[in-house]
Amino acid sequence: MTRVDVGSRLHFGFGNLSLAHERLYGALGVALDEPRLSLAAEPAEGVTAPPRCETLVETVCTHLDVPGATVTIRDSLPPHVGLGSGTQLALAIAVAIGESYDRSVDVRELAPKLGRGGRSGIGVATFEAGGFVLDGGHPTARFTTARPADGAWTVPPVAARHRIPDDWRFLIVLPDADPGRSGETEDDSIRGVVERADPAPADRIAGRITRGVLPAVATGNADQFGSAVADIGRLNGTWYADEQGGVYRPPVGELVDWVADEPAVYGAGQSSWGPAVYGVTDRANAEAARTAGEAALDSAGLNGEVLIAAGRNQGARVDGEPWSGR
């Protein structure tokens, strides 16, 4: 039996969603040490797995040319809340099954065949090595109005990766709300956004990335980093407003506003399609940030969960050891 453990991730947004620029998408995000996914796989003659991932396990076995596997999930990531559960689950299953058969698994090559890593490369890159990641997106000329078949794309390359400073912390607020978009619904929404996106926000985002995000993570300035990623999230929200009912999807906007007013939080926003809300803070201010997250839920009349997570500067672990990335 082979065990794979990996953390979640935050997705701060894209660099460009307009067809007027040369490159499309270009995501940025960070790996988190909590919440985590832990699962195990062992060889078998057929497939035994939880219903949620049975088809995925069958697909992995087909691509790896193995007869089957038994997969057990020990700790799971909440699905479709903005923490990257789909990609982390798919890659963890692939690596666990591959390692149990002593097969090499190139997750960057396999991810598209599993329907992952088409627009954003953050999930694959954080599975590989953790950290803060900015990916290079795709040439805009490759955009198609119809969704490409699984396996017909490549995962965006890593344009920049930095170690997340040990002192940084991330507030995570998970309200009890409808899940974020995924699957065909997400594909349709993104394509609709891209086809009508105003090119102007991309220029402002580029400035915040090059003069805000990258210098901040390189120098360990959490205040500057939080402000910059929050701005990028708001600018992304202007593209998504028609699709999600505002710059942030309801009820995320109220939570973001409340958390952002807390001095212990240096910037706040919505991760991916939400409803996860993040706040950037540090070790000294983590408990004040947690209190702000709990107060935000109370103010909005919502139940939910509030977490404080550190960054994760490593990729997946296999049987307790860093994955070799074969």
Name the token pair of 111.
């991810």
In this predicted model, what pLDDT tens digit does every residue of 273-298 receive, in sequence order?
999 999 999 999 999 999 999 999 99
Per the structure, the count of domains in the chain is 1
Give the domain range for residue 235.
2-322
Q: CATH code at 278? A: 3.30.230.120
In this predicted model, what pLDDT tens digit does every residue of 184-227 receive, in sequence order?
678 888 888 999 999 999 999 999 999 999 999 999 999 999 99
**Are 103 and 110 spatial neighbours (Cβ–Cβ below 8 Å)?**
no
CA-closest candidate to residue 205, choices 30, 67, 25, 66: 25
Mean pLDDT of 307-316: 98
pLDDT at 326: 54
Cα 38 to Cα 25: distance, rounded to the nearest angstrom: 30
Name the token pair of 224.
């500057």
Q: Give the angle subtended at the CA of 260 by the CAs of 254 and 266, to the nearest 5°.
A: 155
Q: Read off the pTM.
A: 0.95
Cα 74 to Cα 140: distance, rounded to the nearest angstrom: 40
In this predicted model, what pLDDT tens digit does every residue of 128-161 receive, in sequence order?
999 999 999 999 999 987 788 888 899 999 999 9
Name the token pair of 256.
């973001």
- CA distances to 121, 171, 274, 295, 304 from 300, rounded to whole Å, are 33, 17, 16, 9, 11
CA-closest candidate to residue 278, choices 37, 9, 7, 6: 9
Cα 143 to Cα 141: distance, rounded to the nearest angstrom: 6
In this predicted model, what pLDDT tens digit does every residue of 46-105 receive, in sequence order?
999 999 999 999 999 999 999 999 999 999 999 999 999 999 999 999 999 999 999 999
